[in-house]
Amino acid sequence: MYICSIIYLFAMKRIVFLTGAGMSAESGISTFRDSDGLWEQYSVEEICTHDAWLAHPAKLLDFYNMLRRKYMNCKPNEGHRLIASLQQYFDVKVVTQNLDSLHEQAGCKSVLHLHGEMMKARPDGPDRGVYYPLDPANPDIHMGDQTPDGVQLRPHIVFFGEAVPNLERGAEIVSTADILVIVGTSLNVYPAASLLNYAGSQVPVYVVDPKPVTSPYRTFTQIRKGASEGLGELVKILVENK
């Protein structure tokens, strides 16, 4: 029985999902670039650059403490659950640009966060891979909250202009895909959009997004619907052709 399980595992096709803000929009997490998104209320330079952090860290901590509490009240939507449901048929890997943990809450077992995680803190400075999980009962980060060696803690997010430590690992995962599915993210935001280039030339690519998406580098099949509705349609196709 154990040997059969191993053979079945290795026979499973690998589906890699690359997800962005549109994946979590139905859960109540505002996207950044839509007309009603966060960038309409705040400028990038004001709350999402390392220079802004150095200039007024308390302001940024207040902003992300507020945002974190909003994230904590959000629940996975049907799209998250549909991706998790495919684990019974495929080897599913998720590479997400999102800071929330909704994929994990929905039951996805393998999730790589490209841009950090809202419920973790890390010391300021170069990302050394040292993270501190935040207590859901007391999730705020304050000025004076420091590591044992005296470095101020900041949100574990990648500010604009900073390196993306998990980008190489994300490229490795995409390169192993038998099927690549892109949900809720345009193919114009770099460096995450560059991950598409690491999929094999014969790998089928699906894009789920209600807005038209184009790429000069790759042909793909687009389902022009929101995450939950579009994934509902795609899941049927994938399971029928597994």
Q: Specify the pTM.
A: 0.90
Q: Report which of 228, 173, 162 is spatially closest to residue 195, judged by C-alpha positions.
A: 173
pLDDT at residue 3, rounded to an integer: 47
pLDDT at residue 212, rounded to an integer: 86
pLDDT at residue 161, rounded to an integer: 85
pLDDT at residue 39, rounded to an integer: 56
Token pair 């995409």: residue: 174
pLDDT in tens, the chain (242 residues): 544 444 444 468 999 999 999 999 999 887 655 555 555 667 777 888 999 999 999 999 999 999 999 889 899 999 999 999 999 999 999 999 999 999 999 999 999 999 999 999 999 988 888 999 999 999 999 999 999 999 999 999 999 889 999 999 999 999 999 999 999 987 776 777 789 999 999 999 999 999 888 877 788 999 999 999 999 999 999 998 87
pLDDT at residue 7, rounded to an integer: 41
Whether residue 23 contacts residue 96, with contact meaning beta carbons closer than 8 Å, is answered with yes
Listed by start position, the domains of the chain span 2-240
Residue 182: other Cβ atoms inside 10 A: 28
pLDDT at residue 46, rounded to an integer: 82
pLDDT at residue 34, rounded to an integer: 55
What CATH number should be reported for the domain whose range is 2-240?
Answer: 3.40.50.1220
Q: Report which of 88, 81, 96, 82 is spatially closest to residue 174, judged by C-alpha positions.
A: 96
Alpha-carbon distance of 108 to 96, in angstroms, equals 12
**Ramachandran area for residue 149 (φ above 0: left; ψ -120 to 50: alpha; else beta):** alpha
Catalytic residue among 80, 103, 113, 115: 115
- The verdict on whether 103 is a catalytic residue reads no
